[in-house]
Structure 1
Amino acid sequence: MSRNSSKKSKGENFKERHRFFLNPYSDCAFTKCPKCETKTKIRKFPLVIHIEPKQLFLLNKQCKYCPNCDLIIAKKQELESFMAFGMNQSNPEIIGNNYLVMGTVDRKDWKEGSQDSLSPSEIIERIYVFKDVWNFEVIPAGWYPAKEK
């Protein structure tokens, strides 16, 4: 059997790494992991962001990280600021468009991509998509559900 005869369906050949949470709360820093309650670390991750229509944006972003859960927490407000700044000169008409944080790439691939040495298709070939994308709801301190009498 030749290699080409067993074609994979779209999406099957992506490598997976990390879990991800896009933090929409401007007043919540997640110094503790929302899943396991251990202290989060600060790490830089080369994120791959798809901006509609058909625009890839590479961002080496400092994020909160829980090594226990392998969870990256990125602040939505900061991401959007960096994207707006980065697109302001090259492609200002897409500022404010829908976007998706797709995954990460290796640091060497981020360097090549940020120097325009990689095509978008090469970046897609090298991406590590997130294993899972999580959402958390923040309950403000001191707020408790009403008890029924």
Structure 2
Amino acid sequence: MTKKNPDTHQSKKLKQRHKFFLNPYQDCAFTKCPKCETKTKIRKFPLVIKIEPKQLFLLNKQCKYCPICDLIIAKKQEIEPLITFEFSKSNPKIVDNQYLVMGTLDRKDWKDGNNKSLSSAEIIERIYLFKDVWNFKVIPAGWYDNDEK
């Protein structure tokens, strides 16, 4: 009988928190939750963004939030200029690279990460990955036949 090593990747339970939607629409603010239709709140979240290749970016970002669905909605048009501004001088090669909003951090960990007292490996250990990443398609207002909905 073989013992399983508790340090193997399969046995580690990743911490998860919140659901996430990266809003690609410029003209849609999602003042109501696209899932449950309740009014969204505005909250700041310390987001962890991975930019290819192997670059982490910590961003304390004001986002729409639905407490009922536990859904964070961040606007793509607000995140991309911040990435460009941050890396245009320090690492201009990665400015237009693909990125992924991975999850959130506790506020204390975000502060330590911004002060460079946490390494990338330590940040990854402390990250709360998103439980789920949602995608919504906006249907313009108007009259539709029942078949078109």
When normalised by structure 2's length, the TM-score is: 0.91
AA partner of residue 86 (structure 1) = E
| Runs ≥4 residues deviating over 6 A | none
2:41 counterpart of 1:79: no
RMSD of the alignment, in Å? 2.0
Partner of 2:57: 57
Partner of 1:109: 109
Partner of 1:26: 26
- 1:12 Cα deviation after fit: 4.0
Matches within 5 A, 1:1-149: 5-9=5-9, 12-142=12-142, 144-145=144-145
Q: The residue matched to 2:44 in structure 1 has which SS?
A: strand
Take 1:21 and 1:8, find their aligned partners in 2: how far apart are those partners?
Answer: 31
Runs of 5+ consecutive residues of structure 1 not aligned to the other structure: none
Take 2:138 and 2:76, find their aligned partners in 1: how far apart are those partners?
Answer: 15
Runs of 5+ consecutive residues of structure 2 not aligned to the other structure: none
- 1:147 Cα deviation after fit: 5.2
Take 1:76 and 1:89, find their aligned partners in 2: how far apart are those partners?
Answer: 21
Once the two structures are superposed, residues 5-63 of structure 1 have per-residue CA deviations (whole angstroms, 9 ceiling, x without a partner) of: 23332594320000000000000000000000000000000000000000000000000
The alignment covers a number of residue pairs equal to: 146
When normalised by structure 1's length, the TM-score is: 0.91
Kept after mapping to 1: 8 A contact 2:105/2:127: yes
Kept after mapping to 1: 8 A contact 2:6/2:12: no
Once the two structures are superposed, residues 87-130 of structure 1 have per-residue CA deviations (whole angstroms, 9 ceiling, x without a partner) of: 11211110010110000000011011011111000000000000
Take 1:120 and 1:5, find their aligned partners in 2: how far apart are those partners?
Answer: 25
Take 2:10 and 2:105, find their aligned partners in 1: how far apart are those partners?
Answer: 19
